[in-house]
Amino acid sequence: MRGETYIVKQLLQKAKDSALLGIEFYNKPAVRFKSEGFIAMMIIAWTSLFHAYYLKHKKKPFFRKQKTGTKRPHFETIREKLPDGRIIKEKKWWDLSKCINEYFGVDSANPIRANLEFFIPLRNMIEHRYLPELDIQIFGECQALLLNFDNFIEKHFGAKHSLKIFLSFSLQTSNSPQNIIEATKSELRKKGITNIVDYIKSFRSTLKTEIFESPQYSFKAVLIQVKNHESKDALPIKFIHYDNLTEEQKQSLNAAGIVLIKDKVVKIPDTEYLADKITYDELTKLLRKKIPGFKINEKFHSIKREIITERPKLIHQRRLDPKNPSSSKKDYYSPEIVAEFEKKYSKINGNV
């Protein structure tokens, strides 16, 4: 690393050490929830790598103060009070989000950028959770996060700093675990991970197809058992790039269910969505026709709460002012709710 400053060497070594610790943590068989430790260390690794890159190119990765009135840059500082009362100051380094924005600029269609931006909120969301089921669901993104890191360090600092020489293939014994992305809402609520799964689905659904299918966003591999090769010297593992397969081979993989899938979110105009819904007044009017002696009383409200709890999709709340998060709401109901009321009232032996 001749020609590079001491601080650049330090940051580069920190980046490599952090990445290797993340890999070691992930590959430990005794660790069940692997993603959390891996993501935390890889975010540290990427941040340190960016800092080394910027300092190597004579760019100071510190937050600047706004409008200091002088041409000379002034940087924000973090103040810490020592036990003896002294105050120490440290320049405020760029966080990973700032590093990403500075490096990629307006290039929002870069799959490496998308991969990095996927992990920043996710790291904060899983910090205090124990979710071993999450590991397999984001394995592709985790693998791409590591490969992108190694390619970046090799491109900007040389092949001698690549992590490839330290790594080997992990031995596997497990079958595919439950797919929590496809779990029911009740299962997700029970595990307390509804928000995390919603975030993953939402992030993936907003990606353009070319980004989502890029191995720089999510690297996915299929391990297929084959018969032993005739040559005793043949390698037991061989990587074949998907793009190098014939159309017949690609079709065979797709037929086996080995395909990339992302959720697509289609926005429906509010008025169109509410076209088949009924208002509260329309609901009570229908109930008066269907249920003899029906009254709007505590019994009615209790039954309504019970139905909504059992089938929350039967109600839709719409803000009177969609642009104002503090706006009051109006309830709309699916016509199916009328039949549910009839069932509930019939069980009360006709005592309405």
**Which amino acid is present at 266?**
V
Q: Is the pLDDT of residue 120 over 60?
A: yes
Please report the pLDDT score of residue 262 as a whole number: 46
The Cα 32–Cα 72 span in angstroms is 51
- Do 125 and 199 touch, CB atoms closer than 8 A? yes
Residue 349 DSSP code = T
Q: What is the mean pLDDT of the chain?
A: 80
Q: pLDDT of 56-98, one tens digit each?
A: 999 999 988 876 666 677 888 888 888 988 988 888 999 999 9
How much is the average pLDDT of 136-159?
A: 91
58: left (phi over 0), alpha (psi -120 to 50) or beta: left
Higher pLDDT, 229 or 211: 211
- pLDDT tens digit string along 160-185? 898 887 766 565 555 555 555 555 55
CB 337 within 8 A of CB 307: yes
Query: pLDDT for 295-342, tens place per residue?
Result: 888 888 889 988 888 888 888 877 776 666 666 778 889 999 999 999
pLDDT value for 76: 87
Gap between the Cα atoms of 25 and 277, Å rounded = 51
DSSP state of 62: B
Higher-confidence position of 191 and 89: 89
> Does residue 259 have a pLDDT over 50?
no
| pLDDT attached to residue 239 | 55
Tell me: the pLDDT tens digits for 21-52?
Answer: 999 998 888 888 888 899 999 999 999 999 99
